[in-house]
Amino acid sequence: MPFLAATTFLLYAHMIATFRALSNRDGPQRLTAVLHWLAATVGACAVIFGFGLEAVFTGAQRPGTNLSVPLFFALGVLTVIVFGKKLLAARHQAAEGPAFRVGMIVWAVLAGIYLTGTAIDHWVFFSDRDKSGIGDARALGVDDVQCDGISLVRIDSETARYRCPTSLVWGGVLSEWPFAPWPSYQAGESEKLKRGIEALHRNAVQVR
């Protein structure tokens, strides 16, 4: 579960950086502390929405839209900005700094890029809302898609592209456009799946 590991690492990294920046009385460091705190808060909200726990805290009905994806994207962008600035500053400093600290900054930047990239990959896959969603290949009688349960599906002109989640699915498999971040899915194409989904839609129209 690399995505969960990267998210957990960034939450800890931002909280530690927040306390370190607050211990410094300089004005710019206080602004840095605010940005780290904001990133940690956004990340925590992303996890809450990703696990579907928002109803526990707010009592509100769960929204159909998967809000965890833009929150994870925001966490990634904030991480790249804040830790990227620190990495550039470390490069220009003549004094030798702790190698461990510089290494942690590098890992934070890489994790931020990873989170940002997975969110973009998700949006690209579900870019056409009318031709993407979730499906169950077994229920449709499709035998060339080896998914244990729900799969993420996008209908193209000649085939159906699918992703079988192999780990956590953020936002829940029954939400609109569940988030299965790379590489925690098995991807493939199936013409049979496309025909099965199209037949299901035709039957639904006839029933109406």
Whether 79 and 108 map to the same domain: the answer is yes
Whether 36 and 97 map to the same domain: the answer is yes
Mean pLDDT of 112-134: 92
Whether 28 and 111 map to the same domain: the answer is yes
How many domains does the chain contain in total? 2
Whether 86 and 59 map to the same domain: the answer is yes
Mean pLDDT of 29-49: 90
- Residues 40-96: pLDDT tens digits? 999 999 998 888 765 555 444 454 568 899 999 999 999 999 999 888 877 666 444
Least confident of 40-54, 117-131, 161-175: 161-175
C-alpha 61/C-alpha 132 separation (Å) is: 24
Model confidence, pTM? 0.85
Question: CB of 136 within 8 A of CB of 151?
Answer: yes
Question: CB of 194 within 8 A of CB of 155?
Answer: yes
- Of 69, 102, 125, the residue that ends a domain is 125
Whether 185 and 136 map to the same domain: the answer is yes
Whether 88 and 163 map to the same domain: the answer is no
- Answer yes or no: is pLDDT of 188 > 60: yes
- Of 100, 125, 150, the residue that ends a domain is 125
Radius of gyration over every alpha carbon of the chain, rounded to an integer in angstroms: 21
Sheet with 151-155: list strands edge to edge: 132-135, 151-155, 160-165, 185-190
- Of 106, 125, 144, the residue that ends a domain is 125
Question: CB of 35 within 8 A of CB of 78?
Answer: yes
Quote the domain boundaries for residue 91. Answer: 2-125
pLDDT at 132: 87
Reported as a pLDDT band with limits 50, 70 and 90, residue 137 is: confident
Reported as a pLDDT band with limits 50, 70 and 90, residue 205 is: very low
